[in-house]
Structure 1
Amino acid sequence: MLSTNLKYLRKQYNLTQVQLAEKLEIKRSLIGAYEEGRAEPKLVTLMKMAQVFQLSVDELINPNLPNNLKAGNSAKASNVKVLSITVDSQDRENIELVPYKASAGYLNGYADPEFMEELPKFRLPMIQAPGTYRAFEIKGDSMLPIPSGTVIVGRYVERWQEIKDGTPAIVVSLQEGIVFKRIYQQKNQPALRLHSDNPAYEPYEVSLEDVVELWEAKAYISTTFPMAEISLDKLTSLVLDLQQQVHKLKSDK
């Protein structure tokens, strides 16, 4: 039903075929062919269409799209965006790794297949649940005891309403970039409240309109091992030993 949806969306956005063709960087005659069902767009063009109309590719080809939009269930309302993925030789989805240095580039290239192809990729056999997964390297101490440099593996969340309060997640937004926080929904407000596990950091809100992607944290990878816990007896012994050393130093003077 792409042909019907494309014509419907173009009229909703008050675009002529020429104007839409310019946005998609294709010939006007192709727009006519798509709307009449005489041709099917390439994947790259389909993704550009989804971006122009702020929809996911799935919604763009959904036969009930006009009814969904009238009911307020569009991607603009739920903040679903076009998601590019890569697959291995067996057609299984990869887990792309977004290093911290690539964070800025990710905001510009998250829907660009070429950018995604350049990212490091891996698989985790222990993660077998259905869904799309991506890994992000985090920096800073706002989520201690998870240290800076940890890689968070997240499952893509299509609709933010599915997130339960207190869920740790990677939030990709135009306002804050890529951050790892606990998410809390704001009732009757178009925003999410982000909390750090480190009490030194104050919670803050991010507008849903600025949220590009949400990834529910499912695992983390770190090369930093936690410090061994010190028992109360051991700590008391260390303090007494320190006091004795201080006392001895004073006596030697």
Structure 2
Amino acid sequence: MSLFSDNIRTLRVKHKISQEKLAENLCITRGRYVKYEDGTSEAPYDILKKIAHYYHISIDLLLSVDVRKIDTEDLLKLENNRLVLPIMVDREGENFIEVVTQKVKAGYLNGYADPEYIESLQQISLPFLGPGKHRGFPVEGDSMPPHENGSIIIGRYVESLGEVLDGKTYIFITKNEGMVYKRLNKNKKNALVLESDNRFYPNYEVKASDILEIWEYECNIGRSDMKAKIEEPVSVEKMFLELKREISEVKESIKSR
């Protein structure tokens, strides 16, 4: 048995539908469907997609989260069956802001769709942010001044790629790069070009299919009030000219002796 098998059985029973009726809606035979529910056969992508659309739930949740532990009616519904986010709220109904600290950052790629992992994160409340789902992420390195290493970026969840705009900064959760905070340089058809405000770091491209989540910058939580200082990158030509000047000075010094 697999988590997927348990999930589709749980959902079918919850919706009070027979295996035969569900198989008919999926345009397959009952015998074929039973193998998926019994775990004796793996469902291909086209069937996964049909089941996800039938129950209005993301494929991610079907494959990685025990749906018996969550109330699927209370989850955030996104377009095209994108990932459904677990949301924590306080007694007044205000959304908590989960903070992904440096300590737990490594586990976010595996836990971002797991309600138990999200519930275990530290939580804060910032009422001035207004509507939307927000989450805090740690800044690492010096690629995005004035945000220093160790500060926290609060981002608002972006539901679709069509919402992102050139020139704005976002937290990108990607399959290959992990968690990065970058400025959107160019919104291409099937990819995004990301750039650092520190020009020492080169731009790079991320495929749309590689992106798991996007969080638009809302505010920064940090301890420093230092003014950003970005050093201009030194060109190779400038380096050679400086070296040439120094060599000339050495030669002149030798001649004068």
TM range (shorter): 0.5 to 0.7
Does 2:36 match 1:19? yes
* 1:203 alignment partner in structure 2: 203
Distance 1:83 1:132, change over 3 A: same
Shift of 1:8: 8.1
Q: Which amino acid aligns with 1:86?
A: M
Quote the Cα distance in structure 1 between the aligned partners of 2:143 and 2:25. 42
* 1:51 alignment partner in structure 2: 61
Is residue 9–residue 53 contact of structure 1 (8 Å, CA) maintained in 2?
no
Does 2:84 match 1:82? yes
Is residue 103–residue 177 contact of structure 1 (8 Å, CA) maintained in 2?
no
Cα root mean square deviation, aligned: 3.7
Distance 1:89 1:145, change over 3 A: same
Q: Which amino acid aligns with 2:111?
A: G
Quote the Cα distance in structure 1 between the aligned partners of 2:25 and 2:147. 45
Is residue 175–residue 206 contact of structure 1 (8 Å, CA) maintained in 2?
no
Query: What residue ranges of structure 1 are gaps of 5+ in the alignment?
Result: 24-33, 63-72, 230-253
Is residue 10–residue 20 contact of structure 1 (8 Å, CA) maintained in 2?
no
Shift of 1:18: 3.6
How many positions carry a matched residue from both structures? 188
Shift of 1:125: 2.1
Is residue 186–residue 193 contact of structure 1 (8 Å, CA) maintained in 2?
yes
Partner residue of 1:116 out of 91, 112, 118: 118
Is residue 133–residue 154 contact of structure 1 (8 Å, CA) maintained in 2?
yes
TM-score scaled by length of structure 2: 0.62
Q: Which amino acid aligns with 2:147?
A: I
Shift of 1:100: 1.9
Is residue 185–residue 193 contact of structure 1 (8 Å, CA) maintained in 2?
yes
* 1:221 alignment partner in structure 2: 221
Distance 1:117 1:198, change over 3 A: same
* 1:105 alignment partner in structure 2: 107
* 1:142 alignment partner in structure 2: 143
Taking only the aligned residue pairs, the percentage that are identical comes to: 36
Quote the Cα distance in structure 2 between the aligned partners of 1:21 and 1:167. 47
